[in-house]
Amino acid sequence: MRTGEPEAHVDLTFECGQQVVKRQDLPGFQHMRLQQVTTTVAKTATGIISVPTSINALIVNFQGSAIARTTSQGRLILVAPRSVTFVRGGTRLIVTAARGEHVSHVLTWPAGMTPLLEHYVAGTGKGGSSTRIVACKPIDPQFMEAMQRYETARNGSVDYAEPLMLSVVYEIVARLVTGGDEVQLAALPPDLPETIRQLAGKVRSKPSDGWPLKDAADMAGYSPFHFSRVFKQLVGYGFHEYVDRCRTEAAVELLVTTDMAVDLVASTCGFGTTQGLRESIREYLGLVPSELRAVPEAFDVKG
């Protein structure tokens, strides 16, 4: 599938022609363009995303996972659910979409519309030239306030929706291109009670530990039953799932940044078996460990 109007669209081509990508323009913008993009992927599909030189793109990913690279051997960018990705104009990416439902918003704007941002992005690389033509970070918790403004602008509930959206672009893109990409599967609310926040930090720093519920409850100063209820109420999912998410997050980091064997990654991160690691990654990302490391060589991102 290839969309028309390449000067106004982010172009998406899948290797498999059976992928149906639905686009819906969201109203309320004159100089910027906001589209909702949805698709269902029955099995992992690889394709190309092209962003014309004249525009920049900010992709707000709500559901579904994807792997992106600028070349078949280039740096891997894992686009997880609830993340934001900046793609600079003139960039083409090899993208592998994971199984399942995908829902994203694609915001595009003329590069000349944000000259100060263009100057800032161009200065983030060594020697004054930018190497961050694509960057990705989780929405939670660092972009939550910006996303509240994003939703206000997207809903058209204010007369100044486009200037408000422009302020969102400046904040998010500037923060995206500063520092490395991030994957966070165990996001936490920013206003947790101190005891639970400290416990959650200990789990994240040592996910391979056993973390029995009783020990965790003692550390937080609750009975196991009360701790289980309070944690789920505050975080949105149970303590055991939080531990599993932290282990999966650590494993994904090792899989995409090292050549460590999968079974060693599993044991290092606290999974009892390699199958346990495989099932967790598939549950949270719709992928399996081998897919995090393999991108088809046949795609030509230069043409």
CATH of the domain at 42: 2.60.120.10
Task: Identify whether residues 162 and 206 lie together within a single domain.
Answer: no
**Residues of the chain above pLDDT 70, percent:** 87
Query: Mean pLDDT over residues 297-302, rounded?
Result: 51
Verify that 57 and 156 share a domain, yes or no: yes
Whether residue 195 contacts residue 220, with contact meaning beta carbons closer than 8 Å, is answered with yes
> Do 52 and 170 lie in a common domain?
yes
Cα 50 from chain centroid?
A: 18
Say whether both 78 and 164 belong to one domain.
yes
- Same domain, yes or no: 45 and 160: yes
Determine the pLDDT at residue 257: 83
Q: For residues 136 and 205, state if they share a domain.
A: no
Is the pLDDT assigned to residue 253 strictly greater than 50?
A: yes
Confidence of residue 270 (pLDDT cuts 50, 70, 90): very high
pLDDT reading at 154 higher than 90: yes
Do 105 and 221 fall into the same domain? no
Query: Quick check: 7 pLDDT over 60?
Result: no
Angle at 250 between CA 247 and CA 253, to 5 degrees: 150
The pLDDT confidence band at residue 229, using thresholds 50, 70 and 90, is very high
Specify if 127 maps to a domain. yes
Confidence of residue 9 (pLDDT cuts 50, 70, 90): low
Residues 6+ apart with CB under 8 A from 241: none
In a domain, residue 16? The reply is yes
Sequence-distant (6+) residues with CB within 8 A of 208 are 247, 250, 268, 269, 270
User: What's the pLDDT score for residue 15?
Assistant: 54
Quick check: 111 and 57 in contact, CB under 8 A?
Answer: no
pLDDT in the model for residue 96: 87
Residue 3 in domain: no
Is 281 part of a structural domain of the chain?
A: yes
| CATH number where 271 lies | 1.10.10.60
39 CB neighbour count, 10 Å cutoff: 20
More confident residue, 125 or 141: 141
If pLDDT is split at 50, 70 and 90, which confidence band does 198 have?
A: very high
The residues, ordered by sequence, that sit 6+ positions from 61 with a Cβ below 8 Å of its Cβ are 79, 80, 81, 82, 83, 84, 85, 102, 103, 104
Domain contains 221 = yes
CA-derived radius of gyration, the chain: 20
The rounded mean pLDDT for the chain is 86
Co-location of 78 and 175 in the same domain: yes
State the number of CA atoms in the 13 A half-sphere of 122 facing the CB. Answer: 8
Confidence of residue 293 (pLDDT cuts 50, 70, 90): confident
Residue where one domain finishes, among candidates 153, 183, 213 = 183
Q: Indicate whether 303 belongs to any domain.
A: no
Question: Across residues 232-242, what is the average pLDDT?
Answer: 93
Domain extent for 116: 11-183
> Which of 183, 202, 236 is at the close of a domain?
183
Average pLDDT on 211-215 reads 95
Number of structural domains found in the chain: 2
What is the mean pLDDT of the segment spanning 76-88?
91
Mean pLDDT of 219-225: 94
| Mean pLDDT on 187-212 | 91
Q: Are residues 274 and 128 in the same domain?
A: no
pTM above 0.85, yes or no: no
Q: pLDDT category, 207, cuts 50, 70, 90? A: very high
Q: Residue 179: what pLDDT?
A: 76
| Mean pLDDT on 253-274 | 92
| Residue 173 placed within a domain | yes
DSSP state of 53: T
Confidence of residue 1 (pLDDT cuts 50, 70, 90): very low
Residue 298 has pLDDT above 60, yes or no: no
Instruction: In whole angstroms, give the CA distance from residue 194 to residue 260.
Output: 36
> Would residue 5 count as lying in a domain?
no
Residues 27 and 99 in one domain: yes
| Co-location of 179 and 206 in the same domain | no
Residues 261 and 214 in one domain: yes
Q: Examine the fold and report which residue of 183, 216, 251 is the final residue of a domain before the chain moves on.
A: 183
- pLDDT one-digit tens code per residue, 14-23: 654 455 788 8
pLDDT(73) > 70: no
Q: Residue 131: which pLDDT band, with cuts at 50, 70 and 90?
A: low
Distance from C-alpha of 27 to C-alpha of 218, rounded to nearest angstrom: 52
Polymer length of the chain: 303
